[in-house]
Amino acid sequence: DAKTTQPPSMDCAEGRAANLPCNHSTISGNEYVYWYRQIHSQGPQYIIHGLKNNETNEMASLIITEDRKSSTLILPHATLRDTAVYYCIVRVAGAQKLVFGQGTRLTINP
Amino acid sequence: DAGITQSPRHKVTETGTPVTLRCHQTENHRYMYWYRQDPGHGLRLIHYSYGVKDTDKGEVSDGYSVSRSKTEDFLLTLESATSSQTSVYFCAISELGLRERAYEQYFGPGTRLTVT
């Protein structure tokens, strides 16, 4: 199974870009990278996903390296409301679940 | 936000009693899921449904049963609650299924269950 590695915690100043790294060195060619976040006591929230190309939506950008062994989620202008646990997930081929690891606890400081 | 509600939002019950949690969606999505979240374990899939009356087990299904008689409702039942089932339970929905290569899941607000 492809696994992900994320730093347990990060800090970022309000208004700056938050760059959250994720390593997934055993990812297979047809596995997607997903990012979710969970704000305290709420259900997880889908952010973005990608396969090979960089992706951008209204919430964030996802940069995937050419060898697909790592990716970075970018929140371009972080706000206090972006404080949350961010999960990088690789969908396990053929499996019937999302596997949530421990994620990165991102704290946005005023 | 996706139209997902869970009821009750909080419940305290005694060991050995049956408990049913309800997930209701207004999105007409085909797939529904039940997860539990515990400190140190992240979210773990209990059961999921891929259509009315079609359900399957997740990774931690022992002690739980589910039913789906209508597209919009997915019920999770603890036949005889135990203290180890104290947890936060999340319902999720998606349009594409788990067997597809790409999908998004939308989560409900959660139910905090305490078994004493």
Beta strands in chain A (DSSP E): 9-13, 18-23, 33-38, 45-50, 55-56, 61-64, 70-75, 84-90, 104-109
Q: Compute the distance between CA of residue A60 and CA of residue A34 in angstroms, rounded to an integer.
A: 12
Residues 6 or more apart whose CB falls under 8 angstroms from that of B30 comprise B50, B51, B71, B94, B95, B97
pLDDT tens string, chain A, 110 residues long: the values are 568 999 999 999 999 999 999 999 988 888 889 999 999 889 999 999 888 889 999 999 999 999 999 999 999 999 999 999 999 998 764 455 677 888 999 999 99
- Amino acid identity of A103? G
Provide φ and ψ at B13, rounded to 5°.
-140, 165
**A9-13 and A104-109 strand pairing:** parallel
Contact call for A43 and B107, based on CB within 8 A: yes
Residue of A3, A33, A40, A98 to mutate when probing chain B, most B C-beta within 10 A: A98
**Across the strands, what pairs with A89?**
A34
Contact call for B101 and A97, based on CB within 8 A: no
Q: Nearest CB to B59: which of A46, A87, A97?
A: A97
Min Cα separation B42/chain A (Å): 6
Min Cα separation B30/chain A (Å): 15
B107 in A contact zone (CB under 8 Å): yes
- Residue carrying the six token digits 């969606």: B25
B34-90 pLDDT, tens digit each: 999 998 777 889 999 988 999 999 889 999 999 999 999 999 999 999 999 999 999
| Widest Cα–Cα separation across chain B | 41
Question: What is the length of chain B?
Answer: 116
